[in-house]
A and B are shown apart, each in its own frame.
Chain A
């Protein structure tokens, strides 16, 4: 399909099919078309050619809309309401019950400020309220546009774990600029470049163009002096993961006491270059 705005086509020759419940990370630089993709699947934008089908029904029809949750990159919280009133408002739109509201107040740990006006919340707290609405009712598909942006690491991790739990039997499309987060949560990656689908694959199948490992030693060693450094890590480029055991043996034979060895690069980084 192709999609975009009145005077600005964004997505070209875009085609993919998803069946398996999982987290599909949507990656791409700013302006690549991630938000346009979500808006088109959500039925907000109509494809200018081709079509988006959800269980065989065109996106935008109410039966399709009822199968998905869409969380935009904006909070989408009306002015002048308290947290509880906002959730009540979402519950009415989504035909959820007051019991559902009570449940998500605890699930997202926002009960303590349920009586606070949204305007008095921090950006992170507002985001939690915004994210809370996707847990009001279960749907088959979740379109989450940067759901953890402006959240502190602890809350972001908690929300990621809730989303991972969801993905056991739901399809989650998840966009993020945080590549480590993307790698942690995603099983598949959809990379968008200049409005085209550049890659759709399992993340485990991705290989960095350069495979670099970092070694942290228990104590300083002359054997490591020839290595480049990044913080506490001594860097070495290897042909691939299969070369790691031999590299470890080499270090041991040179008397290096290893505290930690980790892969330094992220294969997802290459999708941005």
Chain B
């Protein structure tokens, strides 16, 4: 399936590179867990309450969690792309325009967008739920939320191979709009009283 998809992108090259480029956004969602985990732990331990008392806004706390997620994704992408490119070149293939294009159109934006979506939903969900630790918190199902948009877009792109790029760009646009729309509702979805420690 993945090979078929890469063929649709015209990547060619070693299978490792083709698969890696396609599945990297799915692995990248693990980076989004970090931001939500820090947020959830800090809430349980009263760190968020402390920060709010000293004037840190809920919006800033959300953006901090997003920043943690995006930094972790950058590390995952950096390692993944470096390993992929090294393999590609060591295998004797010439770097074509197609590979950077796929990275720029699909791999990078899809990874960053799905992690942004996942972190935003995760933080709001955590804030709106009763304080719970670890996997009992919404963090337990967050990876599914992260994988879902990429998986759906990939399946659709595979089914309609000719329009793969357009489908993926469309999916990225939809995710971007959802993320922006959620961020604009921060004050309503994350009032300060939802950031307080239990008790």
Contacts and interface: CB of A to CB of B under 8 A. Distances in A.
Contacts of B42: 78-79
Given A65-B54, A72-B197, A74-B197, A45 B45 contact: no
A62 interface: yes
A79 B53 contact: no
B52 A79 contact: no
Contact of B54 (A39, A74, A79, A94): A94
A94 B54 CA distance: 7
Interface in B10-44: 38, 41-42
Contacts of B38: 79
9 contacts: A45-B192, A70-B54, A72-B50, A74-B46, A76-B45, A76-B47, A76-B49, A79-B41, A93-B50
A65 B53 contact: yes
**SS class, residues of chain B in contact with chain A:** helix
Interface of A: 5-6, 35, 39, 42-45, 62, 65-66, 70, 72-79, 93-94
A5 B42 CA distance: 20
Contacts of B41: 79
Interface residues of B, number: 20
A204 B41 CA distance: 43
Given A70-B54, A93-B50, 18 more contacts: A44-B52, A44-B53, A44-B192, A44-B196, A62-B55, A65-B54, A65-B55, A66-B55, A70-B50, A72-B50, A73-B199, A75-B45, A76-B46, A76-B47, A77-B45, A77-B47, A79-B41, A93-B51
Interface of B: 38, 41-42, 45-47, 49-56, 191-193, 196-197, 199
B56 A93 contact: yes
A62 B42 CA distance: 22
A94 B199 CA distance: 25
**SS class, residues of chain A in contact with chain B:** loop
Interface centre among B38, B49, B51 (most CB of A within 10 A): B49
A72 B49 CA distance: 8
B121 to A, nearest CB: 21
Contacts of B199: 35, 73-74
Contacts of B55: 62, 65-66
B196 A39 contact: yes
A75 B54 CA distance: 15
A103 to B, nearest CB: 20
Contacts of A42: 53
10 closest pairs, A vs B, by CB? A74-B46, A76-B46, A76-B50, A70-B53, A74-B197, A42-B53, A65-B55, A72-B46, A78-B47, A62-B55
Contacts of B50: 70, 72, 76, 93
Given A5-B193, A44-B192, A75 B53 contact: no
A65 B199 CA distance: 22
Contacts of A39: 49, 53, 196
B188 to A, nearest CB: 12
Interface centre among B53, B193, B197 (most CB of A within 10 A): B53
Contacts of A73: 46, 197, 199
